Amino acid sequence: MAGVSADAAATDHDRAWISAAIAQLHREAARSADTHLLHMRFDRFPGIDFYFKDEAAHPTGSLKHRLARSLFLYALCNGRLHAGQAVIDASSGSTAISEAWFARLLGLRFTAVMPASTAPGKIEAVRALGGHCELTGEGACTQVRAFDIAADGACFLDQFGLAERATDWRGNNNIAESILSQLAREPHPEPAWIVCGAGTGGTSATIGRYLRYRGLRTRLCVAEPEGAAFAEGWRSRDRGARARQATCIEGIGRARVEPGFLFEIVDDVIEVEDPASVAAMLLLEERIGFRYGGSSGTNLVACLALASRMRDAGQTGSIVTLLCDRGARYRETLYDAGWRQAHAIDPSPWLLQLRTTLDASP
């Protein structure tokens, strides 16, 4: 009997490792309990129920836990990730933390290419998980740098290029299916609106597709920092649109329209000023008792704008949004009064206005 060649043995070993890695990811998904859907009502919005999907409850502290798992599975199943291969991606922080966690789970080296301006808490979290952070200067493209590094043999997970296709939007406990399952026994099980931010565009693509797949009347709204590229592009249907201004809200507010952002399945885009997002972030801590990041505040402001439309039109129903990541990651930035002052962000007037919007009698 002819012996097995070294190449064949290596291939068999790699296939065995890939099968074991996929099984490991499936076990992790089964162990991770679904995130909570928090319910709130506010005095000025009678008949409207607000739901907050607490994605910060994931093991890696953000909704990017789902995406990171999907990206690893996508790379494994497409033959792009092999035993012992280094892994790299470009990120503003939260995806990198989740990817570092999964890389450690699979015994792989991970590098995150991140802007040097990323919140220190995020950089520390990647390093604590064994990842390496490659920090880029102002104006440098993190995706280009990650692609260049990957040319030496690393697997480029490419969240911005692959997010919308890596996630199974038809089901398999994606975020949209989870939300609707948790709403099944609520007074308004088919929400009027689901609100989310857009970083890669993967979450909005998953939710928008699933709503159409199920034949639901629920509409999708993207909450976007003022002047960011997705809002500019969505209005004009121009995929070449660029942001009019920068934002301090990490994870959303992209400078360009990413490939995963699908114009056609988004029903509305609401732009939110940065100080309003920060004020709403602080308000969430007041009302829920936990700290969340700035993009969660952006989502809340958009929800209140939609609720005002519904109330003024005499409509009732439910609005669902996402609590995206833990506020501890922004201890030295958005939650630091000195940092806010240095960046000319004063949330005080907005915080007063938001409290009045929620609680004063009509």
pLDDT digits (tens, 9 = 90+) for 110-132: 999 999 999 999 999 999 999 99
Q: 155 with 174, same domain?
A: no
Region 124-146 average pLDDT:
93
- pLDDT confidence band for 167 (50 / 70 / 90): confident
Last residue of a domain, one of 164, 181, 214: 164
**Do residues 216 and 192 both lie within one domain?**
yes
40-92: pLDDT as tens digits: 999 999 999 999 999 999 999 999 999 999 999 999 999 999 999 999 999 98
Dihedral pair phi/psi, residue 83, rounded to 5°:
-55, 130
Same-domain pairing of 151 and 236: no
pLDDT for residue 34: 87
Report the largest interatomic distance among the alpha carbons of the chain, rounded to a whole angstrom: 87
- Range list of H helices, 32-107: 64-77, 94-106
Are 236 and 299 in the same domain?
A: yes
Task: State the total domains in the chain.
Answer: 2
The enclosing H or E element of 358 equals helix 348-359
Domain that holds residue 159: 64-164
Question: Does 208 map to a domain?
Answer: yes
Q: Is 112 helix (H, G, I), strand (E, B) or coil?
A: strand
Same domain, 155 and 285: no
Asked if residue 126 is part of any domain, the answer here is yes
- Is a pLDDT exceeding 90 seen at residue 298? yes
What is the separation of C-alpha 112 from the centre of its chain, rounded to a whole number of angstroms?
16
State whether 83 and 112 are in the same domain.
yes
The CATH number assigned to the domain holding 51 equals 3.40.50.1100
Residues 281 and 307 in one domain: yes
How large is the average pLDDT for residues 142-153? 92
Which residues are bridge partners to 196 per DSSP?
A: 222
CA distance 156 to 153: 9
Assigned domain for 246 exists: yes
In the prediction, which pLDDT does 362 show? 47
End-to-end CA distance of the chain: 87
Contact predicate 258/200, CB 8 Å: yes
Statement: residue 144 has pLDDT above 70: yes
CB 91 within 8 A of CB 123: no
Beta-strand pair 37-40/48-54: antiparallel
Asked whether the CA dihedral 80, 82, 86, 88 is positive or negative, the reply is: positive
Give the pLDDT confidence score for residue 1 in this predicted structure: 44
156 and 196 housed in the same domain: no
Residue 40 structure tokens: 């709130």
DSSP state of 331: T
| pLDDT tens, residue by residue, 69-78 | 999 999 999 9
Distance of alpha carbon 146 from alpha carbon 251, whole angstroms: 17
Arithmetic mean of pLDDT over the chain:
94
Same domain, 152 and 181: no
**Does 19 fall in a domain?**
no
Predicted local confidence at residue 77, as pLDDT? 96
Q: Looking at the domain assignment, is residue 107 inside a domain? A: yes
Residue 29 in domain: no
Could you say which of 134, 164, 194 is where a domain stops? 164
Looking at the fold, whether 158 and 173 belong to one and the same domain comes out as no
Residue 7 lies in a domain: no
Q: Which pLDDT band, with edges at 50, 70 and 90, does 140 fall under?
A: confident
Instruction: State the pLDDT at residue 99.
Output: 98
Taking residues 12-21, report their average pLDDT: 93
Same domain for 258 and 120: no
Domain end among 139, 164, 189: 164
Identify whether 241 is part of a domain: yes
8 Å CB contact between 234 and 269: yes
- Distance between CA atoms of residues 151 and 111, nearest Å: 13
Helix (H, G, I), strand (E, B) or coil at 77: helix
Q: Are 336 and 328 in contact (CB under 8 A)?
A: no
CA atoms of 320 and 303, how far apart (whole Å):
8
**What is the structure's pLDDT at 5?**
64
**Residue 138's pLDDT band (cuts 50, 70, 90):** confident
| pLDDT at 57 (0 to 100) | 95
Q: Give dist(CA 27, CA 37) in Å, integer.
A: 23
pLDDT of 3 over the 80 cut: no
Give the C-alpha separation, 342 to 1, whole Å: 75
Q: Which residue has the higher pLDDT, 3 or 48?
A: 48
Give the per-residue pLDDT at 292. Answer: 98
- Residue 263, pLDDT > 90, answer yes
- Please state the rounded mean pLDDT for residues 298-315: 98
Given this model, what pLDDT does residue 328 score? 94
Q: Is the pLDDT of residue 145 over 90?
A: yes
Q: How far apart are CA 220 and CA 173, in angstroms?
A: 19
pTM for the model stands at 0.93
Amino acid sitting at position 70: S
Please name which of 249, 263, 237 lies closest in space to residue 294, comparing C-alpha atoms. 249
Q: What is the pLDDT averaged over residues 233-239? A: 96
Residues 141 and 178 in one domain: no
